[in-house]
Amino acid sequence: MKSFHAFLDKVDERLGDGLEHVLCAHHQRRLRSLGWGDVLEPGGDRFGGRAPVRDGNRVEVLIDGEETLPAIEDAIRNAKSHVHIANWHASADFRLTREPGALTLRELLAETAERGVEVRVLMWAGPPVPAFQPTRGLAQREQLKFTDGSAVRCVLDSRERTMHCHHEKLVIVDDAVAFVGGVDFTALEGDRHDSPDHPPRPIGWHDLASRLEGPVVADVADHFRRRWTEVADEDLPAPKVPGPAGGTRVQLLRTVPNSTYDFAPKGEFTILDGYLRALRSARRLVYLENQFLWSPEIAEVLLDKLSNPPDDRFRMVLLLPRKPSNGADTTRGQLGRLLDADGGHGRLLATTISAHDGDASSPVYVHAKLGIVDDEWLTVGSANLNEHSLFNDTEVNIATDDAQLARTTRLRLWAEHLGRDVTEVDGDPADVVDRLWRPLAEEQLERENRGEPRTHRLVLLPGVSRRSGRLQGPLRGLLVDG
């Protein structure tokens, strides 16, 4: 029986390698035909590529709904000219805070519009067949709730590629402040309200966003303007570029599929470009929080770093959900490859988190989309590390080379996940991974395997599979990535 399973593993490995090679070749042909082939070529500066670099910005990384949602509500309440929102889905009855008397999103936007502020909401129209949420019927019902009896304009965008969506999450207020991140204004598929303490509840929700001021806000605003102009057939004036607000350089990175909008007929793939440049440049640390880890292009760079480490103290830490909404097996399949490349050297650590209160426990869904390399490059936004986000959905991330912001953000997140004070997770990242992350995550998995209750939120990702799961991602990519 053991030899039979070994045979199946070997067959799966060969088939998986072959399918991923076909998928990568397909992506390469597609990008080359569109004039984006250089994105896949090694070399180039870490903070460069095709996206403009804007100086003079202020960037704040907001962790979990507890920080993100009240900050967005405050910005909307103080709007003077306009509020522009682009989201995967938004529910009219969603409340941005849980304070007594908190308004629903519909009430907040309607009251804002009553003050003479122009409010525009751009949502995905839903899939053409009701195969998954939000269905087109649901999107249309929510659209009516936002607009009925109010001055709010809400438009549904159905210009998605087949089996893909509009996934970005943006808020722009007065072209003076913008939010770019992963937080949706809905409880669909999970409650976005959560705190770094992650108290037990049906499902916790770990997520991130960025608050931006300065010249890069004009890039966010112009992206919304271009989509809105084509979908709503309403011309909006070009945004004025704000003056300097800080000392941080920022790039707005996007995925805009080709043949979707007239403003980008050949598409834009700067999120893929940004990730590949940064990951290839990694010397000491790669830290990724993401909902999915499917992309073979990303996996190949990570495999190379583990097989040929640039430094003896190189570490790669991954924080992923235990059970993604889909693609769990393909995530595990890529982890199997990465673990094989690590070869037991302890450079790779793949973890997930849950919530605990005594014997009570519940999952925490990792919905964050964050990358940090060497504490010198940071990205946060809406893009997952899969074919959907890197090639076929509309997505928006920001990236920065602000080393202080990258390091501070990492320390805050590590303190949250390890349940320690920030001062305790400071120091050489390799030491912190070896001394705190790994022993704790391994000990919690051992308790779980013995049938004992876990005592901490952090645990190693269990169940690395290689068979059908390894094949699912490449097959899905070939079937839906035209």
CATH number (domain holding residue 105): 3.30.870.10
Residue 6 has pLDDT above 70, yes or no: no
3-state secondary structure of 267: coil
The pLDDT of residue 480 is: 54
Same domain, 268 and 166: no
Q: Does 2 fall in a domain?
A: no
Which residues form the domain of 94? 58-246
Instruction: Please check whether residue 395 is in contact with residue 369, taking contact to mean a CB–CB distance below 8 angstroms.
Output: no
Same domain, 47 and 67: no
- Comparison of pLDDT for 109 and 481, the residue scoring more: 109
Structure tokens at 313: 């103290």
Same domain, 328 and 469: yes
Same domain, 354 and 378: yes
pLDDT-derived band of residue 93, with 50, 70 and 90 as boundaries?
very high
Same domain, 371 and 335: yes
Instruction: Please check whether residue 454 is in contact with residue 446, taking contact to mean a CB–CB distance below 8 angstroms.
Output: no
Give the model confidence (pLDDT) of 165-204 as tens digits.
999 999 999 999 999 999 999 999 889 999 999 998 888 9
Last-in-domain residue among 191, 212, 246: 246
325 burial via Cβ count (<10 Å: 0-12, 13-18, 19+):
middle
The pLDDT of residue 120 is: 98
Strand pairing class (248-256; 285-289): unpaired
Same domain, 329 and 451: yes
Last-in-domain residue among 246, 269, 300: 246
Residue range 217-226: mean pLDDT, rounded? 98
Give the model confidence (pLDDT) of 366-389 as tens digits.
999 999 999 999 999 999 999 999
Q: Does 361 fall in a domain?
A: yes
- Comparison of pLDDT for 158 and 474, the residue scoring more: 158
Q: Does 4 fall in a domain?
A: no
Same domain, 343 and 456: yes
Same domain, 283 and 216: no
The pLDDT of residue 333 is: 60
Same domain, 72 and 186: yes
Q: Does 388 fall in a domain?
A: yes
Its pTM stands at 0.95
Same domain, 148 and 203: yes
Last-in-domain residue among 213, 246, 279: 246
**Range among 114-128, 186-200, 316-330 rated most confident:** 114-128
* Packing angle of the helix pair 105-114, 136-147 (nearest 10 deg): 40
Instruction: Please check whether residue 12 is in contact with residue 470, taking contact to mean a CB–CB distance below 8 angstroms.
Output: yes
Residue 420 has pLDDT above 70, yes or no: yes
Domain total of the chain: 2
CA dihedral 198, 201, 202, 203 (to 10 degrees): -10
Give the model confidence (pLDDT) of 26-39 as tens digits.
999 999 999 999 99
pLDDT-derived band of residue 331, with 50, 70 and 90 as boundaries?
low
Beta bridge partners of 51: none
pLDDT-derived band of residue 479, with 50, 70 and 90 as boundaries?
low
Same domain, 446 and 347: yes
Same domain, 353 and 461: yes
Structure tokens at 442: 């391994």
Beta bridge partners of 178: 172, 212
Q: Does 1 fall in a domain?
A: no
pLDDT-derived band of residue 465, with 50, 70 and 90 as boundaries?
very low
The pLDDT of residue 475 is: 58
Mean pLDDT (the chain, rounded): 92
Residue 43 has pLDDT above 90, yes or no: no
The pLDDT of residue 466 is: 44
Instruction: Please check whether residue 215 is in contact with residue 203, taking contact to mean a CB–CB distance below 8 angstroms.
Output: no
Instruction: Please check whether residue 373 is in contact with residue 281, taking contact to mean a CB–CB distance below 8 angstroms.
Output: yes
